[in-house]
């Protein structure tokens, strides 16, 4: 006969065994060993699980944190600016699947210019000046600064303005004094002539130095540039104004002759181009003649010349050309065609009143040659090099699956059984990372390639769903406008309509460089259907968009990241434009 104690022990063992059987009955993960993703969306026979026992959750439910940052949404894009942005998945920080963590906005130091219209200027001349001021704003904004145009109102608000009133000065000195008074009223930052332009890469040593801020002990001036650019802080600026007022005479014409030398320090300025009257007469005599014959035509021609030089500097900055990412070449011709249109416009030689000329600061540049244009390549992988400018278009996982399947009628079974996880991210990083690394590690590397400080100005990223979806459709003007503020110059608009117009280096048209086996028209049709499916608000038991996202967690993460990163840049610029809308030169091109 079994002792009482043994009976109790046996009962406990049986009970524990039954629990183990129940708990071990959940479906096994797939052969790849990954249990995450959309496995829970795939229909399977109903088996007992922990959830059926209605036991308390091991982790407490967490509320989504409230939106604490202003201007952090745009359309369907949502973001959180945080130093923890280098993280495989944003949801671990935001507790929100649709909110991406982006790096904090980079500080934009103020750069000021002083403008007063000439009393004799007519409306056309004033409009020409506004076009030049707009070009000045765009060029400095693209280089990471916050350009602001000042006028007499700012000068009169300086507390030192009362000291200037009783002093008799020449018109030349008065103009300079008002310029410095306006700068001193605003405070720390740069003061530039509105004909002074940055003519170098974003990572240029001088521009990087200027973005870091000025020396508080002195005012920085730049060799061989006269009064074209200064950097300083409010206290030193106003000290310099006081010294100039004390030493001024009725014959003084320049602030630099009146300010003590010990208030200045000098720096080299090889990265800056100044288009003042002396420079124009010396380097571009034909433009100087046009300015004499017609002031309005001369000013508009100067705007055109500066834009051509900025565009040509961009071309010279990337000797290896432009790379338009094109993974899965047999199915993504339509997907990358808008990017090819943009690339074609960027390699096009800009219109110039002085063809084959160079900026004043780069007398030995390489002018654009229409017979030897900048190279356009279509690599399947991203190459982290400063010699090439990269244009990348990211498809939503559902869009890519639809193109690969050659139909937007995608099923859960097809995604689960016939597709690999995170194919786009794997393809574009495999040359650099190989094939053994998982999607989360690839996502971190890719985010750095998009948004890290050392890659600013070397690439342009967008989502496929934000681009045109019709065969032969040109890039929208509002999209090109936004790209111009990132690049710093006007993009030619008359060359982006037909990418088949010119031949590539390989002797084939851009349209057919990597032809799709099923035809580009069908690809466009699939893209349209995929977009409609992504916009659909239908709530089925199994939403195929959610299945595609759950199966491709890393691809979805970087797609949302790029969408939010671009949306935030648009919001930042529009906020700045709103602040400056009432000042001259603020109106964008219509």
Q: Is residue 555 a contact partner of residue 422, using CB atoms and an 8 Å limit? A: yes
Lowest mean pLDDT: which of 502-511, 522-531, 574-583? 502-511
- Give the pLDDT band (50/70/90) at residue 381: very high
Q: Per residue in 350-375, pLDDT tens?
A: 999 999 999 999 988 999 998 999 99
What value, to the nearest 5°, has the Cα angle with vertex 57 and ends 55 and 63?
145
Q: Which of 108-122, 209-223, 304-318 is most confident?
A: 304-318
Q: Per residue in 137-181, pLDDT tens?
A: 999 999 999 999 999 999 999 999 998 888 888 888 999 999 999
Q: Per residue in 382-438, pLDDT tens?
A: 998 889 999 999 999 999 999 999 998 999 999 999 999 999 999 999 998 998 899
pLDDT of residue 249: 82
Q: Is residue 358 a contact partner of residue 279, using CB atoms and an 8 Å limit? A: no
Q: Per residue in 339-353, pLDDT tens?
A: 999 999 999 999 999
pLDDT of residue 5: 60
Average pLDDT over residues 273-301: 90
- Give the pLDDT band (50/70/90) at residue 474: confident
Is it the case that residue 506 has pLDDT exceeding 50?
A: no
pTM: 0.84
Q: Is residue 422 a contact partner of residue 439, using CB atoms and an 8 Å limit? A: yes
pLDDT of residue 502: 46
**What share of the chain in percent tops pLDDT 90?**
57
pLDDT of residue 45: 44
Outline where DSSP puts E strands in 434-533: 459-463
pLDDT of residue 540: 54
For domain 110-279, the CATH architecture is Alpha-Beta Complex (3.90)
Angle between helix 544-551 and 553-580 (nearest 10): 100
List Cα–Cα distances, 559 to 136, 325, 328, 395, in angstroms: 33, 15, 17, 7
Is it the case that residue 211 has pLDDT exceeding 60?
A: yes
Q: Please name which of 125, 138, 134, 139 lies closest in space to residue 298, comparing C-alpha atoms.
A: 125
Can you tell me the distance from the alpha carbon of 558 to that of 178, in angstroms, rounded to the nearest whole number? 50
Domain positions in the chain = 110-279, 320-350+369-579
Average pLDDT over residues 314-343: 94
DSSP helix, strand, coil percent of the chain (3-state; round to 5)? 45, 10, 45
Can you tell me the distance from the alpha carbon of 476 to that of 489, in angstroms, rounded to the nearest whole number? 17
Strand order in the sheet with 77-81: 73-74, 77-81, 99-102
């Amino acid at each position: 006969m079994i002792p009482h104690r043994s009976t109790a022990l046996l009962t406990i063992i049986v009970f524990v065994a039954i629990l183990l059987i129940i708990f071990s009955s959940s479906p096994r993960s797939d052969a790849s060993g990954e249990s995450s993703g959309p496995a829970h969306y795939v229909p399977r026979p109903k088996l007992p699980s922990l959830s059926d026992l209605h036991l308390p959750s091991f982790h407490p439910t967490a509320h989504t944190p409230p939106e604490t940052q202003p201007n952090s949404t745009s359309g369907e894009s949502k973001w959180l600016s945080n130093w923890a942005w280098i993280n495989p998945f944003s949801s671990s920080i935001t507790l929100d699947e649709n909110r991406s963590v982006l790096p904090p906005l980079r500080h934009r130091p103020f750069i000021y210019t002083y403008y007063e219209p000439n009393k004799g200027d007519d409306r056309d001349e004033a409009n020409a000046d506004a076009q030049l001021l707009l070009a000045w704003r765009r060029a400095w904004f693209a280089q990471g600064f916050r350009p602001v145009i000042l006028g007499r109102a700012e000068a009169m608000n300086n507390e030192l303005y009362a000291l200037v009133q009783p002093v008799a000065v020449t018109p030349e000195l008065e103009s300079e004094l008002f310029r410095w008074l306006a700068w001193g009223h605003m405070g720390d930052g740069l003061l530039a002539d509105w004909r002074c332009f940055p003519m170098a890469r974003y990572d240029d040593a001088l521009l990087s130095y200027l973005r870091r801020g000025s020396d508080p002990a002195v005012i920085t001036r730049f060799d061989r540039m006269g009064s074209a650019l200064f950097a300083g802080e409010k206290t030193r600026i106003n000290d310099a104004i006081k010294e100039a007022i004390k030493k001024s005479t009725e014959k003084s014409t320049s602030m630099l002759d009146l300010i003590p030398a010990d208030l200045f320090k000098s720096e080299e300025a090889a990265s800056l181009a100044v288009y003042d009257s002396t420079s124009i007469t010396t380097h571009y005599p034909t433009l100087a003649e046009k300015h004499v014959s017609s002031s309005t035509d001369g000013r508009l021609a100067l705007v055109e010349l500066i834009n051509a030089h900025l565009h040509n500097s961009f071309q010279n900055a990337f000797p290896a050309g432009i790379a338009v990412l094109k993974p899965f070449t047999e199915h993504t011709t339509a997907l990358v065609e808008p990017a090819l249109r943009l690339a074609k416009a960027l390699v096009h030689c800009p219109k110039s009143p002085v063809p084959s000329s160079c900026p004043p600061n780069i007398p030995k540049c390489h002018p654009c040659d229409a017979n030897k244009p900048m190279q356009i390549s279509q690599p399947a992988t991203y190459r982290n090099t400063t010699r090439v400018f990269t244009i990348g278009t990211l498809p939503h996982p559902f869009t890519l699956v639809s193109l690969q399947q050659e139909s937007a009628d995608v099923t859960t079974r097809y995604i689960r059984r016939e597709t690999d996880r995170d194919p786009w991210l794997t393809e574009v990083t495999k040359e650099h990372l190989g094939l053994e690394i998982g999607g989360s590690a690839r996502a971190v590397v890719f985010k750095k390639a998009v948004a890290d400080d050392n890659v600013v100005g070397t690439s342009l990223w967008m989502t496929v769903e934000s681009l045109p979806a019709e065969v032969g459709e040109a890039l929208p003007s509002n999209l090109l406008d936004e790209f111009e503020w990132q690049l710093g110059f006007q993009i030619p608009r008359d060359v982006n309509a037909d990418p088949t117009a010119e031949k590539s280096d390989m002797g084939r048209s851009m349209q057919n460089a990597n032809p799709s086996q099923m035809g580009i028209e069908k690809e466009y049709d699939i893209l349209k259907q995929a977009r409609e499916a992504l916009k659909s608000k239908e709530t089925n038991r199994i939403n195929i968009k959610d299945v595609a996202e759950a199966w491709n967690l890393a691809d979805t993460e970087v797609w949302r990241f790029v969408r939010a990163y671009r949306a935030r840049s648009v919001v930042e610029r529009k906020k700045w434009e709103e602040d400056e809308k009432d000042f001259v030169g603020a109106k964008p091109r219509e």
